[in-house]
């Protein structure tokens, strides 16, 4: 288990980084209340290790809680991407899964089979379920977990001012409506 001082420092950094990222995504992507932001995170990378090799459950708890708070402040829904051991399925509140008509799958994420962040989210959500896939409004990727498969087309990269969490790189993207109709089309601002 990581030292308390490390956990305290990561908690402060995660709160700041995720709050800023969720705010930037909501503004840039014009995400309305009820919109969904996916979080993919490798606690191994946050700790300075190699993705999938040094999962840190205590970091997962800190990061999942910070993401939930950042989304709740803005009336957004958080979804947490699992690792490839659970086919990159996602942990989300049951009510959101039902409202979005998402296909549920049967598993409970664990730190070494799903990831530390989704496993922690499973414990923190009121009624968690695991869903096969989603088409989210935006996504945050901490530690190169490849969350792009869960963003609704067309994905637009968003450069973040605060682009590190621990030792991991933080990247983000939001979706915009596809532009159709060619050169004669007229588009809203």
Q: Is 13 domain-assigned? A: yes
Res. 88 pLDDT band, cuts 50 70 90:
very high
Res. 75 pLDDT band, cuts 50 70 90:
very high
Lowest mean pLDDT among 2-11, 120-129, 170-179: 2-11
Query: What is the predicted pLDDT for the residue at 183?
Result: 76
Q: Is 92 domain-assigned? A: yes
Find out whether 179 and 185 touch, Cβ atoms under 8 Å: yes
Mean pLDDT of the region 29-46: 96
Q: Is 66 domain-assigned? A: yes
Q: Is 124 domain-assigned? A: yes
Residue 102's domain is classified under what CATH number?
Answer: 3.40.50.10360
Find out whether 171 and 160 touch, Cβ atoms under 8 Å: yes
Mean pLDDT of the region 132-143: 97
Q: Is 131 domain-assigned? A: yes
Q: Is 185 domain-assigned? A: no
Domains in the chain, number: 1
Q: Is 169 domain-assigned? A: yes
Q: Is 158 domain-assigned? A: yes
**Mean pLDDT across the chain:** 93
Which residue range is the domain that position 92 belongs to? 4-177
Query: What is the predicted pLDDT for the residue at 145?
Result: 93
Query: What is the predicted pLDDT for the residue at 1?
Result: 47
- The per-residue pLDDT for range 162-188, each reduced to its tens digit, is 899 999 999 999 999 988 877 788 888
**Which residue in this structure is represented by tokens 């979005």?**
100
The pTM (predicted TM-score) of the whole model is 0.93
Query: What is the predicted pLDDT for the residue at 2?
Result: 59
């Amino acid at each position: 288990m990581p030292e308390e001082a490390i956990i305290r420092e990561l908690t402060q950094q995660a709160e700041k980084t995720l709050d800023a990222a969720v705010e930037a995504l909501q503004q840039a992507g014009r995400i309305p209340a009820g919109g969904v932001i996916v979080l993919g995170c490798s606690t191994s990378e946050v700790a300075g290790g190699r993705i999938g090799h040094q999962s840190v459950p205590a970091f997962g708890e800190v990061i999942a809680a910070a993401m939930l708070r950042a989304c709740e402040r803005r009336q957004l829904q958080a979804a947490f991407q699992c690792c490839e051991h659970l086919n990159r399925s996602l942990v989300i509140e049951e009510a959101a899964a039902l409202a979005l008509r998402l296909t549920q799958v049967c598993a409970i994420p664990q730190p070494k089979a799903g990831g530390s962040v989704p496993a922690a989210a499973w414990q923190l959500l009121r009624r968690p379920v695991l869903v096969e896939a989603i088409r989210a409004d935006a996504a945050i990727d901490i530690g190169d977990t490849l969350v792009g498969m869960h963003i609704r087309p067309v994905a637009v990269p968003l450069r973040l001012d605060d682009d590190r969490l621990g030792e991991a790189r933080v990247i983000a993207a939001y979706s915009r409506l596809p532009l159709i109709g060619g050169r004669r089309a007229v588009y809203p601002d």
